[in-house]
Amino acid sequence: MKTLRGLLLLALPMALSGCHTVLMSPNGDVALQQRNLIIISFVLMLLIVVPVLIATLVFAWRYRESNQKAAYDPDWDHSTIIELMIWSAPLLIIIALGAITWVSTHKLDPYRPLDRVSAGKVVPADVKPLEVDVVALDWKWLFIYPEQNLAVVNELAAPVDRPIHFNLTASTVMNSFFVPSLAGQIYAMPGMQTTLQAVMNKPGDYWGFSANYSGAGFSYMNFVFKGMSEDDFNKWVAKAKASGDALDQATYTKLEAPSQKDPVHYYGSVTPGLYQAILNRCVQPGPSCMNMLRMSQPDSGGGEAAASPDSHAAMPMAHPQ
């Protein structure tokens, strides 16, 4: 039995040596700043936890029953020095954590445009963020590149050191878009849009997935994020556009149907306004189309409210059958 325990203890470091804690070694600047925030908070809390644990062991040993040399003072009830230590140290740490949290909450706001590509390297004034529209489907991811006029299922690519502006929504239920090496997770909800600003600093293939349970095929909502050089990204775009498929209303309706383990699929063109139609639930006509609801609501003058500019982009997608 002892031999077995020894072998298990020896095998444990070997087994753990294959683990890769991506959250603690990310390759995107936003995720790196979030990693640093975790470490700083952890160290600050250890300033209290470690002394308390040490003091607990010291007190338990010093004032054990068998130690007759320990001073016994039943009338002791107060120490100003101890009171100052007990209250001032945690208070200072709470103030520090509060300040760090307040600054980081604003600095790492997923809606806030990036002001730097990496530590010591600001975003060049002439660099425009890469726009990517993300749709969480059952149970796959659809990525639409409006500038490049293409779309991809279950594969995402972007040039390194170029800011990325994600717009996210979902088709049916809430999901959570998460590439641990890129940035923190952000929810994608039907009929609503969330935003994520991020950047990848090193080329490579990175794991992305849904971090929010969404049904039977949830476990297969995985994709690969490809960090590439600018030249490789242009080649990837050319490869995707070489596909003969076009993502239009009819194709999206079929794609939206629940499915599992979908392979990577490229669409060489995308019907204009499709993402806005998905966002406003107007791909198919019906009462769920939010732009129809806006148009049917009476305004203050008793007439019908005018459709918003976004609704005009979505309206052509919803034709009566």
Taking only the tens place, the pLDDT of each residue in 30-83 is 999 999 999 999 999 999 899 999 999 998 998 888 888 888 888 888 889 888
Average pLDDT, the chain: 86
d(CA 207, CA 228): 15
| 200 part of a folded domain | yes
Please give the structure tokens belonging to residue 197. 């600003």
Q: How many domains does the chain have?
A: 1
- pLDDT of 320: 35
| 188 part of a folded domain | yes
Q: Which CATH number belongs to the domain containing residue 246 in this structure?
A: 2.60.40.420
**Pairing state between β 150-153 and 155-159:** unpaired
| 145 part of a folded domain | yes
Torsion of CA 274, 275, 276, 278, to 10 degrees: 90
What φ, ψ does residue 65 adopt, rounded to 5°?
-60, -35
Q: Are 167 and 134 in contact (CB under 8 A)?
A: yes
Grade residue 291 by pLDDT with cuts at 50, 70 and 90: low
216: which residues sit within 8 A by CB, 6+ positions away?
Answer: 139, 258, 260
Closest CA to 23 of 12, 39, 44, 10: 39
Locate all alpha helices (DSSP H) within 17-79, ordered by sequence.
Answer: 29-62
Q: Which residues partner with 53 through β-bridges?
A: none
d(CA 290, CA 173): 16
- pLDDT of 72: 80
- pLDDT of 164: 97
| 178 part of a folded domain | yes
The mean pLDDT of 227-251, rounded to a whole number, is 94
Exposed, middle or buried, 16 (CB in 10 Å: 0-12/13-18/19+)?
A: exposed
| 249 part of a folded domain | yes
Q: Are 176 and 210 in contact (CB under 8 A)?
A: yes
> Given a cut of 70, is residue 214 above it in pLDDT?
yes
| Local structure of residue 23 (DSSP, 8 states) | G
Q: Is 294 helix (H, G, I), strand (E, B) or coil?
A: helix
Reported in sequence order, the residue ranges of 66-160 that DSSP labels E, i.e. its strands, are: 116-118, 121-122, 130-137, 140-145, 150-153, 155-159
Q: Are 174 and 190 in contact (CB under 8 A)?
A: yes
| 162 part of a folded domain | yes
- Domain of 274, in residue numbers: 121-279
Please give the structure tokens belonging to residue 80. 């100003």
| 45 part of a folded domain | no
Grade residue 315 by pLDDT with cuts at 50, 70 and 90: very low
288: which residues sit within 8 A by CB, 6+ positions away?
Answer: 281
Torsion of CA 18, 19, 20, 24, to 10 degrees: -140
| 134 part of a folded domain | yes
